Structure 1
Amino acid sequence: MALTDDERAVLTARLASAEAALHSLMVGKATVSLSYDGESATFSQTDEAKLRRYIADLKSQLGLGCNPYRRGIHA
């Protein structure tokens, strides 16, 4: 199913927010919060895997691959 421009914009904004939140966790912030469509979620460092799954789901919805080995990037 193809995304509309509006749906793609919303998912892209959510992805950017989630990736920024993950970065904050990775550099030592104890908790981060995300808000969208009147919903909010708070993640702590112990929720890193959950946040990574959310990012992977958003990328999947956008048709973006999650392969860390593409373009010479190595995990």
Structure 2
Amino acid sequence: MFTMLTPEQEALYRGQLAEAEAALHKLLLGKSAVTLNYNGESVTYKPADEARLRNYVRELQAKLGLIRSARRPGVRV
């Protein structure tokens, strides 16, 4: 379910999404590790964490209403 965002929330999520997508791009190009800062925390992703980073990107896309759900098709919670 998509919840209406305030303009501030949308700007925040769009900025986080851009940063996460750039980090995923760097990781896929062979960078050994990338670090993202969000929610007051710093998280470092390594090539083995690619799936976690992809999930984070999907979560942000879902919050922005760019995709229907952050979950994979066929997966029920």
**Fold-level similarity (TM above 0.5):** yes
Gapped regions of structure 1 (runs ≥ 5): 67-75
Superposition deviation, residue 4 in structure 1: 0.1
2:36 counterpart SS class: strand
Instruction: Compute the TM-score of the two structures, normalised by the length of structure 2.
Output: 0.81
- For structure 2, the 5+ residue unaligned runs are 69-77
Q: Quote the sequence identity (%).
A: 47
Corresponding letter in the other structure for 1:55: V
Aligned to 1:11: 13
Q: Which residue of 2 aligns with 1:48?
A: 50
Using the alignment, how far apart are the partners of 1:49 and 1:38 within structure 2?
22
The match for 1:23 is 25
**RMSD of aligned Cα (Å):** 1.2
**Quick one: distance in 2 between partners of 1:65 and 1:2?**
14
Name the structure, 1 or 2, with higher relative contact order (CA <8 Å, separation 6+): 2
